[in-house]
Amino acid sequence: MDFKPQIVAFLCNWCSYTGADLAGTSRMEYKPNIRSIRLMCSGRVEPTFVLDAFLKGADGVLLCGCHPGDCHYQEGNYRCLRRYLLLQKFIKQMGIEAERLKLEWISASEGKQFAELVNSFTQTIAELGPSKVKNAMTLSI
Amino acid sequence: MEESKPKLKLAIYWAASCGGCCVSVLDVHEKLFDVISAADIVFWPIAMDTKYADVEKMPDNHIDLTLFNGAIRNSENEHMARLLRQKSKILVAYGSCAHLGGIPGLANFSTKEDIFRRVYEESESVINPWKVRPQTESEMSEGAVDLPSFYDDVRSLSQVVEVDYKIPGCPPQSERLLEVFTAIVSGAELPPKGSVIGADTKAQCEECIRKKTENKKIRKFYRPWEIQDDGVSCFMEQGVLCMGPATRAGCGYRCIKGNAPCRGCYGPPPNIIDPGTKMMSAIASIIDEKEPDEISKVIEDIPDPAGLFYRFSLPVSLIRRKLS
């Protein structure tokens, strides 16, 4: 209803951000709920960034990198994949819904796929409702 | 006898703790006589018959140094934390529980309700058909009696009161305590408030005595009992998870020397925000697989990542408790 999901997206410079840019220059419409953060590589995404995003109130976190085999730095996206799988297992243990964290490969030519991804992920988060992480972690002394 | 300056007043208190920290103070052995010659111990429940009321009667800032061990788990712990803060010039969070929440902090994976149900109703050794649970106040024929109230969350000392210094360790190494104590007695210049003292600023791995190579490629992780440790090479390189990459040095590698991987009791070094996220990065770097299914299979060897990464530090970590 009134819930507007806030989604933080970490996009790699070489593929995914360029793909997102293509969606924009091609004037594709997609949901305005994401806040894009450009990194040089998806391998730069430290698990701290993801948890910090949830702590600061993100309802969902999206990680995007080059397709396997296409990483500008050869291995960065595999690192991201392994961190993502570890994070998934960890957040489930902490009672955070696994669906709130998503990893997808978006190439520089996949503007359309990026727009669809944002729409579907926004829909998923909207159905899940607001994240409880921020409030639950606040300590009152 | 030379004219000496007045003796320091020393207090040692335990909150939610196992008692090991208090014992670590005794582990200075005969040096305890040096401690006693430089300081009067005014309050130490494990060793002396002093009462809370004795502390309450002291003027503010009466105690020069309080070593506070244990986490804050109930209202009694919190009351004593606030009282000792008020009465002490220097309040030190002593040991992993006061510093990080420690082992009692693992209770943040549960709620008060979970814990009470398990302990007072479901435990195999309990018969409690009336589901009796501790009450904070009860009327007895002798009058009203009370018990501390149990909190939903475990907190570290600095999450409740201002802390001057933190000495990490489960328990802190006694030699490091002596160094700190000597520094305070001698009137040496003390580090800035809030510092971790009695430990290094580097990570364990930087000076670890085990042999490391650049070739870290792991396709299976082992629990320590599942593998014949060669006694020489890095635990991680053998596929045994070790908290070294995310843990502050200064313990003297006690576990490593005993051929056990680091468990992380000294907490993260200053440049690491959160030990678990650091470990996730470290582990992701050494897994030698590229297919999601294969990676997941390797990760299955880590049955309880949260419990492993935050064994001593859950309450002060980014995600400091399980969502209920």
CA distance, residue B152 to nearest chain A CA (Å): 12
Query: What are the pLDDT digits (tens) for A9-58?
Result: 999 999 999 999 999 999 999 999 999 999 999 999 999 999 999 999 99
pLDDT of residue B207: 87
Q: Chain B residues with CB inside 8 Å of A82's CB?
A: 283-285, 287, 289, 295
From chain B, pick out residues whose CB is under 8 angstroms from the CB of A54. Answer: 319
Q: HSE of A59 in the Cβ direction (CA atoms, 13 Å)?
A: 18
Cβ distance of B320 and A141 shorter than 8 Å: no
Inter-chain residue contact B323 with A94, CB threshold 8 Å: yes
The verdict on a CB contact (< 8 Å) between B305 and A90 is yes
> What is the spatial distance between Cα B66 and Cα B6, in angstroms, rounded to a whole number?
17
Report the Cα A21 to chain-centroid distance in Å.
Answer: 16
At residue B35, the pLDDT reads 86
CA-to-CA separations, B36 to A90, B20, B32, B185, B248, in angstroms, rounded:
47, 20, 6, 11, 30
Indicate the Cα dihedral angle B168, B171, B176, B177, nearest 10°: 100
| Option in A47, A81, A89 nearest B277 (CB) | A47
pLDDT band at A68 (very low <50, low <70, confident <90, very high): very high
Q: Determine contact, residues B98/B68, Cβ cutoff 8 Å.
A: yes
- Three-class secondary structure of residue B94 per DSSP: strand
Query: Interface of chain A against chain B, CB under 8 Å?
Result: 46-48, 51-52, 54-55, 68, 78-79, 81-83, 85-87, 89-91, 93-96, 132-133, 136-137, 139, 141
Task: Flag if B306 and A46 touch (Cβ within 8 Å).
Answer: no
| 243-272 in chain B: CB under 8 A from chain A | none
Q: What is the pLDDT of residue B182?
A: 87
State the CATH architecture for B8-104+152-196.
Answer: 3-Layer(aba) Sandwich (3.40)
Q: Which residues of A touch B216 (CB under 8 A)?
A: none
Please, are residues A24 and A52 in contact by the beta-carbon 8 Å criterion? no
- Cross-chain CB nearest to A46 (options B159, B281, B319): B281
Q: From the CA of B322, how many Å to the nearest CA of chain A?
A: 4
pLDDT at B215: 73
Kindly list the distances between the CA atom of residue B110 and the CA atoms of B16, B160, B324, in Å, as whole numbers in the listed order.
16, 20, 8
pLDDT value of residue B228: 94
Domain layout of chain B by residue ranges: 8-104+152-196, 109-151, 204-316
Contact yes or no for A48 and B155 at CB 8 A:
no
The residue of chain A with its CA nearest to that of B294 is: A82
Contact B277 A133 (CB under 8 A): no
Q: What is the mean pLDDT of chain A?
A: 96
Nearest Cβ partner for B299 among A47, A48, A86: A86
Measured between beta carbons, which residues in chain B are less than 8 angstroms from residue A78? Answer: 290
Question: pTM of the prediction?
Answer: 0.93
Whole-number pLDDT of residue B31: 87
Determine contact: B135 vs chain A, CB below 8 A: no
pLDDT in tens, A83-137: 999 999 999 999 999 999 999 999 999 999 999 999 999 999 999 999 999 999 9
Q: Which residues in chain B come in under a pLDDT of 70?
A: 1-4
List % helix, strand, coil for chain A (3-state, nearest 5): 45, 15, 35
Tokens coding A42: 């998806």
pLDDT score, position A1: 59
The structural domains of chain A, ordered by start, are 7-132 (3.40.50)
Q: Which of A51, A89, A139 shows the shortest C-beta gap to B319?
A: A51
